[in-house]
Amino acid sequence: EIVLTQSPGTLSLSPGESATLSCRASQRINNNYLAWYQQKPGQAPRLLVYGVSTRATGIPDRFSGSGSGTDFTLTINKLVPEDFAVYYCQQYGSSLTWTFGRGTKVEIK
């Protein structure tokens, strides 16, 4: 089973700064089945990016995903107040299962 390790655990930034979130897989992720979600307190997760780098419908272009193999990155350019939340990466594996990382919290500095 693939394990996803997200870092850092918490990122303290100011509005206007950029955030770089990392997701590292214990094994190569095939077919680019890697997604990113945003979750705010009391809300369901919201899909931001799927297929490593494709933004979901309605997601602003300040969110971008990249990476391949075992190393993936979500970049948020010029943070706005509503971007402060917890972010999860998720992979779909050959065993037909989903696996989530433990999350990165982006908090206001």
Partner 1 sequence: QVQMVQSGAEVKKPGASVKVSCKTSGYSFRDSYIHWVRQAPGQGLEWMGWINPHSGGTKSAQKFQGRFTVTRDTSISTAYMELTSLRSEDTAVYYCARDVLNAGDSWGQGTLVTVSS
What gap in Å lies between CA 73 and CA 29, rounded to an integer? 14
CB 17 within 8 A of CB 108: no
| Residue 46 within binding range of partner 1, rule CB under 8 A | yes
Q: Which of 11, 23, 25, 35 binds partner 1 (CB under 8 A)?
A: 35
Which among 47, 28, 51 has a CA at the least distance from the CA of 39? 47
Q: Decide whether 1 or 16 has the Cβ nearer to partner 1.
A: 1
How far is the CA of 100 from the CAs of 12, 82, 105, 106, in angstroms?
Answer: 22, 23, 14, 17
Choose the stretch contacting partner 1; rule: CB under 8 A; options: 17-25, 33-41, 65-73, 74-82.
33-41
Closest separation in Å from C-beta 15 to partner 1: 25
Residue 40 interacts with partner 1 (CB under 8 A): yes or no: no
Residues binding partner 1: number (CB under 8 A) = 23
Residue 99 touching partner 1 (CB under 8 A): yes
Tokens read off for 14: 């100011």
Q: What angle do CA 95, 100, 101 make, to 5 degrees?
A: 130
Interacting residues with partner 1 (CB under 8 A): 33, 35, 37, 39, 44-47, 50-51, 56-57, 88, 90, 92, 96-103
